[in-house]
Amino acid sequence: MLFTDRRQLVLLLLPAALLLVVFALAPVVQVALYSFQDIDYAADTARWVGLENYVTLFGDWFFRVDIGNTVKFAVVASLVQVALGTGLALLLNREFRGRGAVLSVVVYPMMLSTLVCSAIWRSWFHYDVGILNGALTWLHLPRVAWLSDPGLALWSVMLVDTWQWTPMTTLIVLAGLQSIPPEVVEAARTDGARPWVLLTRIVLPLVRGQIFLALLLRLIDTFKLFDKVYALTGGGPGNATETMSMYVYQKGFKFFDVGLAAAASVVMMAIACGLCAVYAAQAMRGSSK
């Protein structure tokens, strides 16, 4: 149905626009204003301090460590998940008996909520009765303090995130693989292309867009990591697993330093918007082809 009257179009778009303003734009503007203020909830006062919160934020050693933890987690976890997901997609792209059952098992972790996944892995990580340390003991190897060792805790959280979200990258890449015309692969085989050449010169370049899309989606998601850290380690031991989201939570809801928490939120939002801009550019480039 075509609408020739612009007023009809405006009326149709107005409810969605109002919802966007009320639930998306207004909170963002409010947080941005809070980041320039020193807010005292007890006295119900707010004092304009300009860039003081940002100066304090970037001078805070804990925040710089949290940025490092966040970037490390986002980059490493995303790359590992995309690599594993691509490998699984290549395996599942072949026809074999029980393929549907295997695909269901592979996708299953993604169907669970984050808190359920965290509860499962927290029991597996248990130092005394966990499955992982039980397997190490059976192999006559020393037990590992998975969540209480500062040098290992962040990697353990990465393992949980990889277990849960690798299936998503698998599905994205698998969809790309199944969209490749069979004639292209058959023509390459007829010309004598070896399996490795077929994979690296034909198959992977054809699904490069899907791989890049999966990588961007995982980067955006892992960058705002909060729930797994909160459920597994609470940011500890020390601040070994504390991320930028945890920093915002602690400053805003534990120490009630709303201005500093808002400033950290604005920094997070700026980085996330940059990643989203890359994702949007990639999506529009793909749709234009």
- pLDDT by residue (tens digit) across 11-48? 888 888 888 888 888 888 899 999 999 887 766 778 89
Residue 121 CA to residue 73 CA, distance in Å, equals: 18
Residue 241 main-chain phi, psi, to 5 deg: -115, 15
In this predicted model, which residue has the larger pLDDT, 275 or 262? 262
pLDDT of residue 43: 66
Residue 122 CA to residue 110 CA, distance in Å, equals: 17
For the entire predicted model, the pTM comes to 0.87
Which residues make Cβ contacts (< 8 Å) with residue 146, sequence separation at least 6? 125, 127, 130, 132, 133, 152, 153, 156
Angle, helices 208-223/61-92, rounded to nearest 10 degrees: 150
pLDDT of residue 193: 74
pLDDT of residue 119: 93
| Rg of the chain over all Cα atoms, to the nearest angstrom | 24
Residue 289 pLDDT class (50, 70, 90 cuts): low
The CA-CA-CA angle for residues 114, 118, 121, to 5°, reads 140
Residue 4 pLDDT class (50, 70, 90 cuts): low
If we measure between CA atoms, which residue out of 48, 69, 34, 51 comes closest to residue 257?
A: 34
Residue 138 CA to residue 212 CA, distance in Å, equals: 41
Q: Is the pLDDT of residue 284 over 60?
A: yes
Q: Is the pLDDT of residue 155 over 90?
A: yes
Q: Is the pLDDT of residue 2 over 60?
A: no
Residue 224 token pair: 């705002």
Q: Is the pLDDT of residue 153 over 90?
A: yes
Structural domains in the chain plus CATH codes = 61-287 (1.10.3720.10)
Query: Mean pLDDT of all residues in the chain?
Result: 88
Which residues make Cβ contacts (< 8 Å) with residue 270, sequence separation at least 6? none
CB 269 within 8 A of CB 28: yes
- pLDDT by residue (tens digit) across 41-73? 766 778 898 899 999 999 999 999 999 999 999
Interval 215-223 mean pLDDT: 90
